[in-house]
Amino acid sequence: MKASWLLWCMLLLAGVASAQREIDERAGWGLKDRVYLGGGFGLNGGNDSFGNRYFYIGLNPIIGYMISPQFSGGLGLQWQHYSYPDVDAKIDQYGVSPFLRYNFGQLFAYTEYNVLNTPTLYNNERKNFDRFLMGLGYSQPLGRRGSLNAMALYDLIYSNTDRAFASPWVFRVYFSF
């Protein structure tokens, strides 16, 4: 029960939220109609598999540009902080993620190239890890501008020796406005 509650909290709080807006073609194609901002926020805490307490916080702002009513691209930034007070360890990760999205009604295709900079073992140096994500998503409108979105992405360049990512699959559930 505790694990399923934690999983639901992680899905709701740690999702990357990217805002997608509709362009009113009758109003024209001004810059303010094409540019959108969004982002995600994550917060988590508990005990890891070794029993050590941990705390996590993450911020994921994005900026996007609607090329057409169906097609958009943009850039996401990442910051993630992990702290383990029982072992006096802190980790900060930084990332950048250019993305493209194409809408087919409520379904959409999505691709993202993600580079994550993270400390290596013992925090004595930093290393970049990358992944190339592609997948599909579904967007359920909530009012005029909002929506509930879900997507499943697969890392096309995943390596099981790459310790930064535990799986080639990435699942995201998020709200956009």
Tokens matching residue 54: 């941990």
**10 in helix, strand or coil?**
helix
Count the Cβ atoms, other than its own, within 10 Å of residue 60.
22
Q: How confident is the model at residue 161 (pLDDT cuts 50, 70, 90)?
A: confident
* Per-residue model confidence as pLDDT tens digits over 23-64: 555 556 778 778 887 778 889 999 988 899 999 999 988 898
Rounded to whole angstroms, the Cα distance separating 81 from 59 reads 9
Distance CA 12, CA 23 (A): 27
Identify the pLDDT of residue 177. 64
Please tell me the predicted confidence (pLDDT) of residue 147.
Answer: 77
51 contacts: CB under 8 Å, gap ≥ 6: none
66 is in which domain, residue-wise? 2-176
| From 6-20, 40-54, 119-133, the region with the lowest mean pLDDT | 6-20
Q: What is the mean pLDDT of residues 123-152?
A: 88
The answer on pLDDT for 137 being more than 80 is yes
- Strands of 85-125, DSSP E: 89-104, 107-119
Give pLDDT, residue 80. 94
Tally of domains in the chain: 1
Helices (H), the chain: 2-13, 31-34
CA distance 116 to 80: 10
- Give the pLDDT score at 23: 52
Give the global pTM. Answer: 0.76
Residue that the structure tokens 């379904």 belong to: 107
pLDDT tens for each residue of 68-117: 989 999 999 999 999 999 988 899 999 999 999 999 999 999 999 999 99
